Amino acid sequence: MARKSKSPLTPAFDMARLCGEAWTVVGLRLAKLAAGGPLAVAEAHRMVAEKAVAAVEAQFAVGAALMGGATHEMAHAKAFAIYRKRVRANRRRLMAP
């Protein structure tokens, strides 16, 4: 369930937090790609495919939320939850030894 926005700045804070987490993933991925080899190739393919899937999933979630009568803030929270989940999963996976 989406949380209610308590401030008009909440979407901006959500975006800033997601951007910071995404930059961590970018750095970890660049290190993996720089190492080369079959793992780098697999990571390159994975990151392209998962971006497309995440974008479509977020679009469907927002559309369903808005058609269901949700506010724009609730739809925003649904989209960010999808991206946040993916970014955090990538960070955990890439930081694992």
Listed by start position, the domains of the chain span 51-97
pLDDT at 4 over 90: no
Sorting pLDDT into bands at 50, 70 and 90, what band is 90?
A: very high
Sorting pLDDT into bands at 50, 70 and 90, what band is 8?
A: confident
Q: What is the pTM of this model?
A: 0.79
Mean pLDDT of 60-89: 92
The size of the chain, in residues, is 97
Retrieve residue 95's tokens: 């930081």
End-to-end distance of the chain based on CA atoms, in angstroms?
Answer: 34
Task: Give the tens place of pLDDT for each residue, 15-60.
Answer: 899 999 999 999 999 999 999 999 999 999 999 999 999 999 999 9
pLDDT at position 19, please? 93
Cα–Cα distance between 67 and 75 in angstroms, integer? 10
Q: To the nearest whole percent, how much of the chain has pLDDT over 70?
A: 95
